[in-house]
Structures are given as structure tokens and as C-alpha cells.
Chains A and B, each alone.
Chain A
Amino acid sequence: MSAGSEAGAAREGRRPAAAILGRALRRHALFIVLALLVALFQSREPAFLSFNNLFSVLQSVAVVALLGVGVTVTLAVDGFDLSVGSIAAFSLMLSSYAMVVLGLGATTTVALALAAGALIGLVNGLLIVALRIPDLLATLGMMFLLGGLQLIPTGGRSITTGVALPDGAIARGAFDPNFLLIGRYKLWGLVPLPVVLVAIVALATWFLMERTRWGRVFYAVGGNETAAHYAGAPTKAYRVSAYVISGVFGALGGVFIAARIGRGDVFAGASLLLDSVAAALIGFAVLDRGHANVLGTVAGAIFVGVLLNGLTMLNVPYYTQDFVKGAVLVGALALTFGIGARR
């Protein structure tokens, strides 16, 4: 064993420059491609690097990044939250219903949405831990369940003031102006509030996962649950809390969308799941980490956002977007698992 690693060191020693360069390229591949893309878009479209455009890119990816961070936490415990997009859509409908139909205020509505997200996450976690349903299947079930549940109170209609409810009543309430500010307010007239809030949440989650003992345990539960249990970790509690975190982040994402569009749009959350999962998976390749990590997820979301924004500016048709996202994802996965994988 030791002889083998010595031989390996000797091999690396023979070509140190190439080895170091190769490793650096792999670590920073995503950032290098991002820089090249930015340069390309800027050369074609001078408005690309304006503050307005950059913050509009960030605004467009904020919710995807937030949901991706939630997915990242569930990936860390070797799970997978497929319901995160549906939680966001459900939270969007719930917030709208709370204000338009029930006439609640902004604070109560946000609290209600976040509590619902936490509760859904708790149910996900208990399905997985107590009933031992595999993660993918439990959250797939929850995804369908929520997707259907959000349609029932309004009979499948989007929620706006004056909408007719299934029992024939007319909803008289409206969106609280304070609630709308969550999605529409810009700090210093420039930076969208959701971008700031998502940055804060992402930073806090990054600190939790990378710099605290609790983060260590999340990853340990994912790495080897038995070993984590033997090392004195309450592994089931950690697994459940990962889904609660993901649920709360999903619900917060739903609040942002509701506050931005100002109506309970039945179809608003359609592409959220795949986009956030893609961001988390692209994140594996960032800095050559090889596992789910918060920084990588945020970088992955921004990368996709910049790419789509630039292509749109260059008049590349809208319908090619999914293809572009897919190509980026496949490339990032190849980088993580294939090229130079020593794992």
C-alpha cells in the first residue's frame, strides 16, 4: 500500500507542472468557462456587463439557487429531495390563498408558508426514517401529492382577487403590498431583495455545512450512517432535519415567486425542481469537490443563469434552453466522475 503511494508520488514528481496544471484546470473549470462566456457575451452585447443586467441574472437564479441549497443538504445525508420544487409551488399557492381568500397579512402569510414547508419536510423525513421508504420514492410521492393538493382549494384556477372558488364564493382579498415588497423591493434602487436574502441564507448554510460540527455530522450520515451512529451522532434526527431545511428553503422560494409575480399562478413552479437539482449536481464539479456543496450549488445556479441570459441576449431561441442546461449538466458530471477521477 505504502509502496504504491510512493510510486504514485514519484510518478507525479516526474511531471509536476503538468499534474499541477491539470488539477488546477479541473478545480476551476467552471469558473474558467464562466469567464470565457462572460467575455464572449460582453464582446457581442455591451449591455451584458451592466449592473442592471447582472442583478437581473441574479434575480432570475435566486430561487433556483435557494432550492438547490436545500437539495444540497439532502444530498449531503445521501438523500434526495425531489419534492422541493413542488414545495415551492405549494408555498406560492398557499401564500396567495392566505392573502386573497383568507385575507391574512404579510407577516402571518410568510410565517404560515415557512411553517408549511417545515411540516412537509418533517413528513418527508419521517416517511424516510420511520417508514424506511427510499428517499427518492418518498419525495417523489410527496411531489405528486403537493402538485395535486395545490389545485384543490381553487378548483385548479390561479389565485387572484375576484377568482371564483369551487363553492361559488368570490375571493375578495388581495396581496398585501408589504408582501409584494419581498419580491420587488430593490436595495439602493439596484439590488433585488430576494438576491440579498438568498445570499444570506446560502452563506449561513455554507457556514453550517463547511465550518461547524453539525455540518460534519450531516456529511458523515451521508458517508456512512453506521459509522456516524457509532461515533455518537443522532443520525435519524439529522436525516429528518435535512428534509426540514430543504422544505423551509423550498417554501421561502415559493414566497419569493409569489411576491414577484403577485398572483397564485398554478404553473409558476414547473421547472424549479430540475433546475435546482441541476445546480446542485453541477456544484459537484466546482473546485473539484466531488460531492454536494453549497458554494458549488450557488455557482452552478449562477453559471446556468449567466449562460441562458447571454444566449437570450444573442437571440438564441427560448426553446433551446433546456438543451443548453442539459449539456452543461452532462459536462459537469463528466468532469466530476470521469475526467481525472481518482476516487
Chain B
Amino acid sequence: MLSRDTSTIIEWRSVSKRFGATIALDGVDLEVRPGEVVALLGANGAGKSTLAKIASGVLRPDSGAVVLEGQPATLTSPRAAREAGVAVVHQRTDQLGAPGLDVAHNLVLDQLCDGGHGWLARPSRIRARAAAMAAEIGLDLDLSADFSSLGPARRQLVAIARAVAADAKLLLLDEPTASLSAKEVATLFSLIDRLRSRGVGVLYISHRMADIGRIADRFVVLRNGRIAGEQVRPFDFKLAIRQMIGRDVETTAEPRPRGAPLARFEGLRLTPGSAPFDLELAAGEIVAVVGGLGAGKSRLLRTLYGLEPVVGGIITLGGAPWRPKNPAEAVANGVFLAGEDRWATSLMPAATPASDIAGTIALPHRKAWFPLGWVDAARERKAALGAIETLRIRCNGPADSLEKLSGGNQQKVVIGRWRAEPSRLLLLDEPFQGVDIGARRDLVESLRASRAEGATLVAVSDVEEALECADRVAVLRDHTIVALHEVDRGGVDAILNALSAIEDESTAEVSH
């Protein structure tokens, strides 16, 4: 190996960044060498996106240094980063190009914006330049297709081609495979391989072990803003998962006696093609459902809430068959769902009447609380004050608009809504999305306290969150449960084994 000082593309030296009381990055050292693919692993809130933003010039570190090809550098803006050779492909693929322009124009967009083509860009020249760019990296795309007609995979390829044409030395990919099919992933990876052979360094942010096993030369695990582990091939993913989660997790759950059976799924099938599975939920129990994108976590919760039909099998709730037609029937029977992505499924824009904390909490309980029809303001205010106190919602009062609250406090309002009335089955879909660690602890504490009557089903993609809140963890794959274990010393091992087995399997699928 060459000496470090001359051969790194980019190097971060003890970089730290804090937001208020939260330390996002705490003395991180990391470097990327030419032709190297470095993966950055970490749970939600570990500091991955902060590091990415520092790399792309969006944020500046509080302390520490960025060294570009041996020279200290300050990246003051995304433009400065781009000119220094750092290209970023963001996760949100709708922001990767200009809809309304075709692929050719999108490929030469940087030059067009920089005025390199002069005022009147000749279509033939643009087309020729774009074709050359595409050929350079072996991109097989219809240059006349409109950007908005491209799927997420092709949008990423266009963005990468642009980055390469701008002579990028470092390519930063943020969760690039989050919405890609296996075939599209293979296309993306062969492109990354070609870039690697051209000496481009790649920083690859992901929490998918399968992708990392396929593409990375080395990976770094971030946890709570620090580097928790680093590996070169051959990778030990079980160790990596442990490093992502930390050691203290295994001791958080206390074994508790199982309550009376409350809900039972027998031969339940979520989709026509999926395998049936059984599951029994006990009163007072919290069961986490983990699994990757498309494993069927949301589908299971939505089925129980009357948003999706039961394809096969029987659900019983408190001994009686449960087949809700719609959410209204579910709510009336004490089955509550806090949907994924709170602004899409729970909250109203601030201009909507009664979109404040009190109104948000009251909306699903309106029939129970206002039986005669007229809104009892004192009643809903009381419920809001109760939620604010028990969940420690930081706000000025029940009349606060949700848009003024932090993500964690918004989520507390959503959870507070569903805890304002006793539930038989509480369904939480990704309840810790965009929630900081402090707020997450408050939420978990609230779920664990006062859970006597009902059962709780929590869908999360992050294992750490599952282990933190649940009594049992069910691992979902292809819309069926493939493993189910208690969260105790032996159980955590079994869960991690089941998860890494899935990751290994999908690694094998992708590489063949």
C-alpha cells in the first residue's frame, strides 16, 4: 500500500459536529483512497447523513479538518465541493435532475448552467456531448427520454454520469439501492466497478449488508457519531450488526410473564403468492416486526387496520374473528394504527382548522369524545395536556401547531393520539423515523409503561429499535415470518443470526 498522505482522495481528521445538545459527529477519522469503495454503515441517527453533508459542503464541521489530496480544504458550499471533485448522488431521486428536459440535456446540465455552451446551445452539439459522456462510462440510455419518465435507477445513473463528466474524484452515494430492483442494483454496481477501475473513490452510505458485501472494499461502522468498527474483506456482518447496535442493547429488556392470548393469526397470508404464517399476541406484549424494504411489515399492519384485504387465513381478536372493512371499523374496535411517515398518514398542514396538538389527538376519537356532534373543547384540551405531560412533549400548549415542533415531538403527538384511548391492538409503523435518541427513549418508555390490556405491534427496519422496544421480535421476509424470538440473551443471538442469514441470502441473489 502506498503511503497515506499522498494517496488519499479525501480525509477527515477528528471531525466533530453538534446540533444544540446533540452530538452528531464526535471525532471521526475517515479516508477514501483512489479506486476504493468505502461503505458507511450505521443505524438511524448514527451520523451518516451529517458526514455526507459535511463531505458535500452543505454543513461545515465544528472542529477537525478536511484534507483533499493531501491539501487542507474548507468546503464552504455544495458548489465548492463539486469544484473540488466531490460529487454527491442524493437519496431523493426526484432531485437528481430536471424533469421536462431529456436525458441528453440532463447529462450536460452542469455545462449548460455554467454557460460553457454559450447562449444558444445547439441541439446537435448537446446530443453529441451527451452521447460521449454516456459512452465513456458504458451507460445504455435513451438520450431523448424525458427525465421525469425515468425510474429511480436510471435517474441515479444519469446523476452518476454527470458526476463523472465533471471529473469527480470522490463519488458519494447516499442509500442508492433503497428503491431499486435486484437487476437495477446489478447495473448500478457494474457502473461503480468501472468507476473504481478508473481510480474514482466511492463513499457508499447504506445499511444494507447485502450491497456492502457485493461492492465495498472496506466498511466503517458509525454509532452515536463515533467510529464503532472498521473491516476489510472478508467481512463479518454479524460483528458489524453488533457494532451498529452496541453492547448495551441485550440488557435493556427484562423478561416478563406472558399475558393472556389476545390476538391470533392462523395461516395468515398477506399477498396471493406469499407463504402463510401463524402468530399469537399476548395482552400487554410488544412485538417488533423487522425486515427489509418490501418484506411486508407495513402490509401486515395495514391488513390488521382494514387498509388491505386479508388474502388468506384467519385473524381472531379477543376470541372473535377480525376482518375490518376500513380504518373506521378498526378504530371503533380499539385497533389503532400510527402510519409510516407522519406527515403523509397522520398530520395536517398548519392552515387546516384543528390541526394543532389538541385537534390532531382528538381526530380519530371524535365519535367517542363528542357523541352528540358538537366539539367539547375542554375534553380535547384535557387529553392533549395529558399527552404533553406523559410523553414529555416540548411545546407551549395544546394549541401549538405541529409544524413548530421538532420531529421527535411531532411523533410524540402521533403516539399520544393513539394512547389517549385504551387500545386492544396498537400498530406502529416505523414510529422512530426521524426521531432523535432522547425522544425515542421517551416513546419506548411510554409504550412499556401502562400496557396492561392491549398488545403492540411495531414495524421497524432498524434492528436496534426493535431490540430496544420489544419483548419479542419477528423477522419478516417475502411477506411471511421466518423467525420469532424472545428478546433475551439467547434470543438476540437468534434474531441477529436470522437477519444475517437473510442478508447472506440476498447477497448471493444479487451476485448471481
Contacts and interface: CB of A to CB of B under 8 A. Distances in A.
B298 interface: no
B355 A223 contact: yes
Nearest to A213: B366
A214 interface: yes
Contact of A232 (B20, B331, B347, B352): B331
Interface in B375-420: 375, 394, 404-407, 409
Interface residues of B, number: 38
Interface in A155-194: none
B375 A1 contact: no
A227 B362 CA distance: 13
A215 B404 CA distance: 24
A219 B352 CA distance: 6
B113 interface: no
B231 interface: no
A343 B351 contact: yes
A219 B375 CA distance: 14
A224 B348 CA distance: 6
B346 A211 contact: no
Interface in B315-334: 326-328, 330-332
A1 B364 contact: no
Contact of B375 (A213, A290, A293): A213
A219 B350 CA distance: 12
B436 to A, nearest CB: 11
Interface centre among A207, A215, A219, A230 (most CB of B within 10 A): A230
A213 B404 contact: no
Contacts of B331: 231-232
B363 A216 contact: yes
B450 interface: no
Contacts of B406: 1-2
Contact of A223 (B326, B337, B348, B367): B348
Nearest to A342: B350
A211 B374 contact: yes
Nearest to B354: A216
A290 B366 CA distance: 24
A212 B364 contact: no
Given A3-B20, A213-B366, A219-B352, A227 B347 contact: yes
A229 B328 CA distance: 8
- The main secondary structure of chain A at its interface with chain B is helix
A296 B346 CA distance: 28
Contacts of A290: 351
A213 B353 CA distance: 12
Contacts of A231: 327, 331, 346, 363-364
A223 B352 contact: yes
Contacts of A69: none
A210 B349 CA distance: 18
A342 to B, nearest CB: 9
Contacts of A228: 363
A271 B344 CA distance: 39
A226 B345 CA distance: 6
A297 to B, nearest CB: 14
Contact of A213 (B328, B373, B409): B373
Given A212-B373, A227-B347, A227-B348, A291 B337 contact: no
A215 to B, nearest CB: 8
Contacts of B394: 2
Contacts of B346: 227, 230-231
Contacts of B344: 224, 226-227
- Identify the 3 closest CB pairs spanning chains A and B, nearest first: A223-B352, A223-B348, A213-B366
6 contacts: A2-B394, A214-B373, A215-B353, A216-B366, A230-B339, A232-B330
Given A227-B345, A232-B328, A232-B364, 16 more contacts: A210-B353, A212-B374, A212-B375, A213-B370, A213-B375, A216-B375, A217-B363, A219-B352, A222-B352, A223-B355, A224-B344, A227-B348, A229-B327, A230-B345, A231-B364, A293-B353
